[in-house]
Amino acid sequence: MGTAVTTLIKDSPPDAPKTRPGPPAAVKRRGRRENLAGYLFMSPWIAGFLLLTAGPMAASLYFAFTDYNLFDSPKWIGFDNFTKMLDDPRWQKSVEVTAKYVVIGTPLKLLLALGVALLLAQSRRGQAFYRAAFYAPSLIGASVSVGFVWRALFSDDAVVDRTQSFFGWDVGGWVGNPDWVLYSLVALTVWQFGAPMVIFLAGLKQVPKELYEAAEVDGAGPFKRFWSITLPMISPVLFFNVLLETIHSFQIFGSAYVVSNASCGPADSTLVYTCYLYQKGFKEAQMGFASAMAWMLLLAVALVTAVLFWSQKRWVHYEEASR
Amino acid sequence: MSTTTTPSPPSTTSPTTPRKSLDVGRRRTGSLAWHLGALIVLAVVLYPVAWVLGASFKPSREIIGSLQLFPTSPILQNFKGLADGIADISIATFFENSLFYALGSVVGILISCSLTAYAFARIRFAGRNLMFSLMIGTLLLPYHVLLIPQYVMFQKMELINTYVPLLIGKYLATEAFFVFLMVQFMRNLPKELDEAARLDGCGHLRIYWSIVLPLCRPALITSAIFTFINAWNDFMGPLIYLNEPGKYTVSLGMMMFRDQEGVANYGGMIAMSLVALLPVLAFFLAFQRYLIDGMATSGLKG
């Protein structure tokens, strides 16, 4: 709001209209009216940004350097939260669990999404049906219901365990086994490949057919065509999917919480980062520590985002707007 | 906005006719393989949904162990049991709460995001580009950075255990995804419409209300459905802010099921899971085109 007001004031020195000839003043008045209209229309967003985003971010940064239990006022402790965090075995565990989840789950999900999109793009008949059916899990995947279903499907003696045991590899169900439970969460996110798939499909539709025809004339095989036409042409969409899916999977909470029966276990094996943050902040009322954790998450996400944007130059091809 | 049904592209087969019959044969086996591949993916994708449907008609003790997808003698007991509610609270209460939260969110998103999007797409004001970048930035910001300070703030305002913390953001356009979606849509509307209306003496409010909003219906519908589903599925928000069972949404009520009844009433839990999914599935079946188109556009032009 502050900036809005200052711009308005700067734009209208009180005596300016008198010293200037007609048209510019009218233009200026119109610009001023546009500014005012703009800020009025934007006012819910501006209020929301200050009250629910910028303000809380500043507060969170402050809390990160304090000892704060919500009832006594925050006590400044410098970098203690951060040093404590780095020495905390459970924090280390949560980083490890989350990193594993992101590094395994995201590429699998995107590969499947791309693969199925390439498959669907080959034919128009039935495409709409399959596209809709494959997209459905993305809508319900975040629900507690699906969390319960997952817990049931991956528990001891249930369908996944029986199938696995049939091949002589009995691990006693994934949800009860600390070495396996995280993969049930990976399976859950991969199951939701439909959302990135829809985006890939839309990207594939925009690739000009002539390119393939020309390549075919030149004798390029399917692999070559994929590598030198499809991939570069959909690279902006690929970039978008990689960015969003990576950022989202860093923030996994609900499915880990529900599938692990609210324990983020067994033995902390599904203690994803946000689950530990939740426990620290809302179970142990260590708001300072939890805020410091949140900022570490933000730094990690910012770092990944920066690396992705930096790498963009090397592999993402934006077409010049030709139309 | 991508149109859903583009006319089939001009035939790509070259005019050399001798190859044609061979092509048709190859195409038929190709199409068979295509459907086979798609059907395999479909089976895996739909299995959990079919499973919950079948399991909700099985007795509790058979749910985990039985490999049969649908029971030979289905029972209704699990659903009848839901009528007793969870820990003395009627299931209907949870549904009312979820419905209130979801509809309240829809109204907020439609108003606040469309106003913001209109300003970004149709008004030239100082600082617009900066604000647009900030808005896109919040799209990438992990929500968890805001979690603790927002909780502290609402706690100081004594708004814990109310729906205000859950709803207020929706009325203040904090969901950047929907603002972005609407901006993309509004930018594609012809500028001449505004100019004509302006010559007729219409202000921005009139243009927004009587010209832009009606033309934005597809984007508004997409946003409304996504918002409804997100609120319906929301788990973390209610978990943090609501602490009185009578105010719980369906998601939280279900977690109580787990605490109160444990393994004994597994059938009830699975039946409840199915019932909780129904509104989302119904929305999906009714509006899947809007949802998929909305999703598809979010990735393009990004």
Q: Is the pLDDT of residue A256 over 80?
A: yes
Burial B244-271, CB ≥16 within 10 A → b, else e? ebebbbbbbbbbebbeebeeebbbbbbb
Minimum mean pLDDT range among A71-75, A102-106, B61-65, B138-142: B61-65
Domain A81-315 fold is MetI-like fold (1.10.3720)
pLDDT digits (tens, 9 = 90+) for B2-55: 333 333 344 444 444 444 455 566 667 777 888 888 999 999 999 999 999 999
Which residues have C-beta within 8 Å of that of residue A51, sequence separation ≥ 6?
A: B172
Q: Delimit the domains of chain A by residue range.
A: 2-63, 81-315
pLDDT at res. B27: 66
Q: How many whole angstroms separate alpha carbon A35 and alpha carbon A42?
A: 10
A168 vs A116, more confident = A116
The answer to whether A46 touches A1, Cβ cutoff 8 Å, is yes
Q: Is the pLDDT of residue A298 over 90?
A: yes
Residues A101, A183, A200: CA angle, nearest 5 degrees: 65
Residue A60's pLDDT band, with cuts at 50, 70 and 90, is very high
Region A130-150 average pLDDT: 94
A159 — contact with chain B (CB < 8 Å)? yes
CATH number of the domain at B91-299, please? 1.10.3720.10
What is the helix (H) or strand (E) element at residue A75, kind and residue range?
strand A75-76
Of B144, B255, B299, the CB nearest to A237: B299
What residue in A sits closest to B234 (Cα-Cα)?
A143
pLDDT at res. B128: 95
Q: Delimit the domains of chain B by residue range.
A: 30-75, 91-299
The answer to whether B143 touches A278, Cβ cutoff 8 Å, is no
A159 and B125: CB-CB below 8 Å?
no
Q: What is the mean pLDDT of chain B?
A: 86
What is the helix (H) or strand (E) element at residue A263, kind and residue range?
none
Of B41, B127, B298, the CB nearest to A134: B41
- In DSSP terms, A51 is beta-bridged to none
The answer to whether B109 touches B170, Cβ cutoff 8 Å, is yes
> Contacts of residue B239 in chain A, CB cutoff 8 Å?
257
The answer to whether B89 touches B245, Cβ cutoff 8 Å, is yes
Q: How many whole angstroms separate alpha carbon B184 and alpha carbon B121?
A: 8
User: Can you tell me which residue has the tokens 């609210």?
Assistant: A262
pLDDT digits (tens, 9 = 90+) for A184-195: 999 999 999 999
Of A63, A146, A199, the CB nearest to B299: A199
Residue A78's pLDDT band, with cuts at 50, 70 and 90, is very high
Q: How many whole angstroms separate alpha carbon B282 and alpha carbon B288?
A: 10
Q: At what angle do helices B164-171 and A22-48 cross, to 10 degrees?
A: 160
pLDDT digits (tens, 9 = 90+) for B219-267: 999 999 999 999 999 999 999 999 999 999 999 998 887 766 555 678 8
The reported pTM is 0.88
A236, A195, A69: which is closest to B293 by C-alpha?
A: A195
Mutate to test the interface with B, among A35, A53, A153 (most CBs of B within 10 A): A53
pLDDT digits (tens, 9 = 90+) for B149-173: 999 999 999 999 999 999 999 999 9
Residues A150, B99, A142: CA angle, nearest 5 degrees: 25
Q: CA B70: distance to chain centroid?
A: 29
pLDDT at res. B22: 54
Q: Is the pLDDT of residue B148 over 90?
A: yes
User: From the CA atom positions of chain A, what is the Rg in Å?
Assistant: 26
A1 — contact with chain B (CB < 8 Å)? no
Which residues have C-beta within 8 Å of that of residue A286, sequence separation ≥ 6?
A: A68, A69, A280
B155 vs B195, more confident = B155
Q: Is the pLDDT of residue B198 over 70?
A: yes
Minimum mean pLDDT range among A24-28, A116-120, A274-278, B198-202: A24-28
A198 and B149: CB-CB below 8 Å?
no
Which residues have C-beta within 8 Å of that of residue A246, sequence separation ≥ 6?
A: A102, A106, A304, A308
**And the tokens for A17?**
């209209």
DSSP character for A74?
P
Residue A3's pLDDT band, with cuts at 50, 70 and 90, is very low
A228 vs B106, more confident = B106
A39 vs A29, more confident = A39
Residues B209, B122, A53: CA angle, nearest 5 degrees: 90
Minimum mean pLDDT range among A114-123, A163-172, A268-277, B172-181: A163-172
What ipTM was reported for this prediction? 0.87
Within 13 Å, how many C-alpha atoms sit on residue A17's CB side?
9
Residue A18's pLDDT band, with cuts at 50, 70 and 90, is very low
A294 and B298: CB-CB below 8 Å?
no
Q: Is the pLDDT of residue A175 over 60?
A: yes
Region A269-296 average pLDDT: 96
